[in-house]
Structures are given as C-alpha cells and as structure tokens.
Amino acid sequence: MHIVIVFDHPYGASASDNIPHRRSFSAALLASVTRGLTTAGHTVDLMDLQADRFDPVTSAEDLAAWRQKITRDPMVQDYQLRLMDADHLIFIFPIWWEAMPALTKGFLDKVFVKGVVFDEVKPGRPFVCLLPRLKGVSLLTVMSSPGFVYRWILGNPITKILFRGTFRKMGIHKLTWLNHPGMEHLSLEKRRERLSAVEKRFSRL
C-alpha cells in the first residue's frame, strides 16, 4: 500500500532522539510507524507540516477559491495531489487544548476542498470522498491529560473532530485511534516498549 503521513509538531520529524528540550514523542512515534510500514513493504509519503512551513491560515482569497471548488496555494495543490495516491492516511500530532495543533486544523480547512477532496451531493446528506484509493485512516496522538479524563469526562474531542466530523462524513469508516497519554511520566524503558509495540503494529498494516 501507499501510505501518506501527516505529521505536526513544532520540533519536526527529526526530533525523535532523546535530547532534552528537543525531543518529541510524536516524532518518535513517526519514526516507529515509518519503520514498521517500510518493513512490511509499504511506501511512505511524509507531509511534515512544520518542515514544509505550511500556512494554516485561511485568507479571504482562500475562502473565495474554496467556494469555487478551486485551490490557489501551490503547496495545498501539491498536498491534494499526493492525497489522491493514498491507500491509507495517518495523522500524528500532540493534543493541545483537547484538539489538534493549528497546522493540522489548517490542513483540514485548506486542503480538504469541496469538489477536490470531497463533494456534497445533497445538503444534509453524507459527503462523497473524492480520494479514489483511500480505504482507512489512523490517528496517533500524545497528550498530558489522563486517558480516562479525556475519554469519559471530556468526551474524546479529537475523534469527534477528525473521525465523526470529517472522515465518517466522507464515507471512510475504517478509523483507528492510538492514544498515548502521560508519556512524560513514563521511564525511558517504558517509552521504548510503547514505540516497539507501535512499530510491530504498523508492520502488520
């Protein structure tokens, strides 16, 4: 399969090493996922939103183009073309203020253009996915909040946004969420165990 990964962390994809104040468990997850996928023979296309200097802000011009079902930003056009080749899509990012970072939200706002990535056949009805090969989406998140608090008290905001509010609406129902809460409290050995488990999981995708 051809896998597209959308990665969002200020330190970028290279921050997977255990260097204080330059380390990211999100980046370490990315490295593990990539190793697992390549071991299984899948091809991987990484969209590192920070390294690409993606602009998440929707301008008046962007919105006018969106309403006309066109895209003016060359980087957004490139992302859209690359998504067309995706058999599976993976998002990796930390949870901030119960949701995704700004670049990922901007990615959805600007890249997922009606008439390009999805279409609305009739108002009030589910959308139609225009990504011809996409069969499933995986989400890997890292958060400080305890998992039970996020799930049972806050109500899993990220899955409501990304899964129910985006991909299920587009007709994609093979959706998997792997959450990693409280990683800052785990020992290095325990974190390595988590990363090894993730690598093995994606080697079986």
Residue 144 CA to residue 183 CA, distance in Å, equals 7
H helical segments located in 55-130? 60-67, 74-83, 102-111
Q: Which residue spans within the chain are E strands per DSSP?
A: 2-7, 43-48, 88-94, 118-119, 128-129, 136-143, 174-181
Is residue 130 scored above 90 in pLDDT? yes
Domain hosting residue 92, numbered range = 2-203
**49-65 mean pLDDT:** 91
Coil, strand or helix at 149: helix
% residues pLDDT > 90 (the chain): 52
Confidence of residue 20 (pLDDT cuts 50, 70, 90): low
Is residue 24 scored above 90 in pLDDT? no
**Which is more confidently placed, 13 or 4?**
4
Give the least confident one: 117-126, 170-179, 191-200.
117-126
pLDDT for 1 equals: 95
Whether 127 and 118 have beta carbons less than 8 Å apart is answered as yes
pLDDT for 17 equals: 67
Q: What is the tally of structural domains in the chain?
A: 1
**Which is more confidently placed, 94 or 25?**
94
Mean pLDDT score across all residues of the chain:
88
Residue 185 CA to residue 175 CA, distance in Å, equals 28
Q: pLDDT tens-digit profile of 144-189?
A: 776 667 777 766 788 888 898 899 988 899 999 999 887 677 677 7
**127-134 mean pLDDT:** 92
Whether 141 and 179 have beta carbons less than 8 Å apart is answered as yes
What's the CATH number where 147 sits? 3.40.50.360
